Amino acid sequence: MLFHRAAVDLSHQTLNYVAGVIRRHRKSMRSVWRRLNPGQQALLVLDGTLIHTDRTKADRPYFSGKHRVHGMNVQVIASPDGTILWTSGVLPGKAHDLSAARIWGRLRALEQAGIITLADKAYQGAEGPVRTPFKGKPASQKQANRARARLRGPGERANAQLKSWKTLRKLRCSPSKAGHLCKAIAVLQNHRVAQAA
C-alpha cells in the first residue's frame, strides 16, 4: 500500500501492483523500504556547545574566550535528523571543541567505526573520518562548504534541542552536575520527540 498520493489518478489495483514491484526490487537489492538518502547514510554530526553558568569563585577555567561568558563545554553527537545520540561529560568552557572531542575519545572511536562525521570549523585538524569545512575561498570549496552545511544543519538541531530546556539556558547549580543534567535532558528530549512522532 502506498502512503503518498499519486500525481496521476490510478486505480487501487495499479497502485498495489506498482508498490509490489518496488517492494520486490528493494528486496532483491537487500535494501530497507524506507531508507535515508545517500548523503545521510552512515553519517553523524559532531558539535560542541557551551552551557552558560553563573560565575564561579575559580572562574578563569570556565571563561570561554570565544563566547565571552562563563560556561561548560559539552560535546554532542547527533544523527543527521537531529536526534541526540551521545552527550559528553562537561569540561570547563576554556576547553576548545577539538581538544574536548579528543579528551572524550570520540575521534578515535569514530575512526575505528569508520563513520563519516561532519563537524564545524572548530574541529579543523581532526584526523580520521571527521569532515570539516575548507578554509580557502575558491568557488569550488565554497560550494562544497555549502553542501556540507546543508547536511550538517539538521544535525546541529540537537544542541538547540538541549538548550530548549530552561535548566540548560543558564546553569545555576554546581558545574560538576552539568554533565549528568545534559545526559538526562538528552534522554528526556529523545523521549519527547518519540512521543510526538
Contacts of 86 (CB under 8 A, 6+ apart): 76, 77, 106
Q: What is the grid cell recorded at 42?
A: 552512515
The CATH number of the domain covering residues in 38-196? 3.30.420
Q: Give residue 109's pLDDT band: very low, low, confident or very high (50, 70, 90).
A: confident
Distance between CA atoms of residues 47 and 39, nearest Å? 18
pLDDT digits (tens, 9 = 90+) for 61-87: 777 767 677 788 899 999 888 889 999
Q: Is the pLDDT of residue 20 over 60?
A: yes
**118: β partners:** 45, 131
Q: Give residue 43's identity as a one-letter amino acid code.
A: L
Question: Do 75 and 106 meet the contact criterion of CB atoms below 8 Å apart?
Answer: yes
11 vs 36 pLDDT, higher one: 11
pLDDT digits (tens, 9 = 90+) for 162-178: 888 888 888 787 777 88
First to last CA, the chain: 21
The ranges assigned to domains in the chain are: 1-35, 38-196
- Average pLDDT of the chain is 79
Q: Is the pLDDT of residue 118 over 80?
A: yes
